[in-house]
Structure 1
Amino acid sequence: MPPVDFGRRHFRIDTARIATRIPLRSVVISLILLAVIILGGLYSMTIGAYEVSFGEVMNALVNPAADPDIRQVVFEWRLPRVLFAVLCGAALALSGGIFQSLTRNPLGSPDIIGFGIGAQFGVTLLMLVFNLNTYAFKAVGALAGGLFTALLVYVLANKNTMSSFRLIIVGIGVSAGLGSLTSWILITVSVEKAMMAATWGAGSIASLGFDQLVPAAIVFVLVTVIALPLNRTLPVLEMGDDAATALGINPARTRLSAMIIGVALVALVTAAAGPISFIALAAPQIAQRLIRSNTPMGTIPVMLTGAALVVVSDAVAQLLEVPVGVVTVSVGGLYLAWLLARQYSRRV
C-alpha cells in the first residue's frame, strides 16, 4: 500500500504504544518560539535599577562562583519574573485555545466572554471586602468567580442549542455587569485598599518570587496534563455534536470539562499576577496561523506562543516602567480591532 501524502512533511513516531505524525512546520515554529522565549527572558534579566550585562547574566546562570550580588539579582529577583511570564503566557494561551475551539470563533476567548472579569471580581471581593489577601485565597476567589461567571453565561446563552455568537454576546454583557460591580467595590473602600487593588488589577508580575511560582507551577502542570485529551476531542467537537457522538465523544461532558479546565487556567494567572488581558485572545490565533492549523487547539505551539508574547511584553513593560498588563492591553486592543474588522469584512 503506497504511503499517504499529507501535503506537508511530518515526523513519524511509531512505537508499541504510540503511533502519530507531527508536522515538521510545527516543530520548527516551536523551536523558534522557544528561542524567542529564552533570548527575551535573558534580555529581560538585564533590565532594572541594578545594571547587569547580558554576559553577566549568562555567567550568573551557569557559574556558581560568579559575583554573589549579581547571582542574587539574577536568581532571586529576575529569574522568577521571567519564569512567571512563561507560565502566565502558556496558561492564558491554552485557555484561549480551549474556549476558541469550544465556540468555534476567534472572539471566543475568556477576555471577551467574561471569565477573566469573573475571576478578577472574585479576587477583588475576597481581597477588599473580606480582607483575604494571601495567594491561596486569591486562587480560591479567582476560581470561584470564573466558574460562577462560566455557569451564568452558559445558562443565559443556552437556549435549546448553544450558539457561539449568543455565547459571546451574553459573555460581553455579563462581563460588563461584573466590571461595574468591581468598580463599585473599589469606590466604597478606603483609598489605600483601592490603590492596592488597582495596582493588582493592572496585571503585574514584578513582585512575584519562587514562593508563588512553585505552587502555581505545580497546579499548572496538573491542569495541563488533565487538558491533554482535549487536544484530540475538541477538534472533533468543532465538526459538530453529531460527528463527535458518532466518533464516541460525549459533547456535553467534553464541553463541561473543557470549560472547567479553561477557567482554572485563567484563575491560576489572575490569582498570581492579576488580569493580563488579550493574551488568551491573540496567542491561539497567532499560533494557528504560524503552524497553518485548522484549529486553535494545538497545545505546545499555542502555549509557546503565549509564553513568548508575555515574555516580550514584560521586557517592554520594564523598559517603559509600566505593568505588563498595560502593554498587553495596548497591543491586544489593536489586535482586537483588526480581528473585528476582518470578521466584519468576511460577512459583508
Structure 2
Amino acid sequence: MSAPDARADAAPRPRPAGAGYPAGRMRIRLGGDRSLLVRRRCLVVVVALLALALAVAVLAVLTGAYNLSAADAVRVLAGGGSDLDRFIVLGQRLPRVVAAALIGAMLALSGALFQSLSRNPLGSPDIVGFTTGATTGGLLIILLSAASSTTTIALGTTLGGFATAAAVVAVAARRGGAGEVIVLAGIALSQTLSAFNDYLLTRATIEEAEVAKAWQYGSLNAITWAQVRPLALGAAVLIPLAVWFSRPAAVLEMGDDAAASLGVGVGRLRAAMVGYGVVLAAVCVSVAGPIGFLALAAPQLAQRLARTPGLTLAVSAAMGTALLLIADLLAQRLLAPFQIPVGLLSAACGGLYLMWLLGVRGMDDAEGR
C-alpha cells in the first residue's frame, strides 16, 4: 500500500480540547448537533452575577421586620413550618423576589436590544419613551376599565408601547433613522406622554388616582402569586427568544450594508427586535409599573464587566436580575418599616448613573477610544 493510501486509511487524530476555537471562547453542547460558542469571561461574569443575585434573594427572604433562620425557610419550602412562617415566605417575600428577578432580566434584555438598534447608550425603552407609552396604556386601563386585571393591564401596556414605538420609528425614519434621532424623538414623545399621564390622574377620583399613582411609581410592594404567574409564563416564552436574536443582532451591529451582504433581512430583523423589546418592557410595566434606570444601566454595566463590544444579552439579563434584587432590598430597608417604591429609588440612581456615563464617555472621547 502506498504512503498516500496509508494516510487516507489512518484513523483521524482526536483534536485537543479547545483546538480550533477562537482564543477566550468555549463551546457549550446544547444536544444533538447544536452547540453554543461563548466567551469564557462572559460565562464567568454571568455565574458571578447570578451567585450575587441568589445571595441577595436569600437575604431578602430571611430578613426584615420578621427574621427567619435558613432552617425555618427550608421547612416552609418543604411544606412544613408555622402558619406565620408560611405566610411570610410564600405569601410575601418569595413572590416578590421571583418578580424582581424576572423583571430585572427582561428589562435588561429590552434595554440591550434598543441600545443595539439605536447604537446609542441612551437608547433604552425608558429614555426613548416606550416605557412611558406603555404606562399610558396601563393608566387608561386602570382608570377607565371597571375591572382591571394583570391581563388587561398587560394588554394596555403592550398596545401603548407599540403605538409609541411606531410613532418614534416613523419620526426617526423621516430624518434618516440615526440613533441620535431615535433618542431625541423618543425623549420628545416621552415628555408629551408624561404630561398626558398627569392629566389622566387629575381627571380621576381620589381613590382611582391613588391606585394609579402607586402603580405609576413602579413598586413591588404588593406583588402576589396572582401577578407572578402570568409574569413567569411571559418570561418563559420571551427570555429564551434572546438566544435566537443574539446572532443576527450582532451581525446587524456591523452596519446595515454588511448585514445585508451576509443575508440578513435588515428591515424585518429591526421590526422583530423592536417588537420583542417593546413586549419585554410592556410585560414588566404591567406587573410592577414603570421601573426606570435598569434598562438603561444594566447593558452598559454588563458590557464593561464582560469587556466585549456589542450585544451581551446573557450578561445583561444577569446584571438586570442582580441590580433589581439589590435595589428592591434597599427600597425595603432604607426607611424601614416604611418601604420606598423601587421605581423611585431606581430613578434616583438613574440620574447619578447618567452623570457617571457622561463622565466615562467624555474620558473615552478625550483618549480617542
TM-score range, shorter-chain basis? over 0.9
TM-score (norm 1): 0.93
How many residues are matched? 346
Residue 298 of structure 1 pairs with residue 316 of structure 2:
no
Which residue of 321, 336, 350 maps to 1:307?
321
Residue 46 of structure 1 pairs with residue 62 of structure 2:
yes
In structure 1, the residue matched to 2:270 is 255
Matched-pair contact (CA < 8 Å) for 1:202–1:326: yes
1:32–1:178 Cα change, 3 Å:
same
Identity value in percent: 35
Which residue of 285, 293, 302 maps to 1:278?
293
Q: Which amino acid aligns with 1:79?
A: L
Residue 335 of structure 1 pairs with residue 339 of structure 2:
no
TM-score (norm 2): 0.88
Matched-pair contact (CA < 8 Å) for 1:104–1:164: yes
Which residue of 240, 245, 256 maps to 2:260?
245
Deviation at 1:342, TM superposition (A): 3.4
1:57–1:203 Cα change, 3 Å:
farther
1:26–1:108 Cα change, 3 Å:
same
Query: Is the partner of 1:204 in helix, strand or coil?
Result: coil
Which residue of 42, 54, 66 maps to 1:26?
42
In structure 2, the residue matched to 1:173 is 188
Deviation at 1:290, TM superposition (A): 1.2
> What does 1:117-266 correspond to in 2, within 5 Å?
117-159=132-174, 161-266=176-281
Query: Is the partner of 2:240 in helix, strand or coil?
Result: helix
Matched-pair contact (CA < 8 Å) for 2:62–2:73: no
Greater mean alpha carbon deviation, residues 332-341 or residues 179-188: 332-341
Q: Which amino acid aligns with 1:32?
A: A
Deviation at 1:32, TM superposition (A): 1.1
Q: Distance in 2 between matches of 1:178 and 1:197?
A: 15
Greater C-alpha Rg: 2
1:201–1:18 Cα change, 3 Å:
same
Matched-pair contact (CA < 8 Å) for 1:9–1:24: yes
Q: Distance in 2 between matches of 1:100 and 1:242?
A: 19
Query: Is the partner of 1:45 in helix, strand or coil?
Result: helix
Matched-pair contact (CA < 8 Å) for 2:62–2:70: no
Question: Which ranges of structure 2 fall in alignment gaps of 5 or more residues?
Answer: 1-14
1:12–1:187 Cα change, 3 Å:
closer
CA RMSD of aligned residues (A): 2.1
Q: Distance in 1 between matches of 2:299 and 2:98?
A: 20
Q: Which amino acid aligns with 1:17?
A: D
Query: Is the partner of 2:37 in helix, strand or coil?
Result: strand
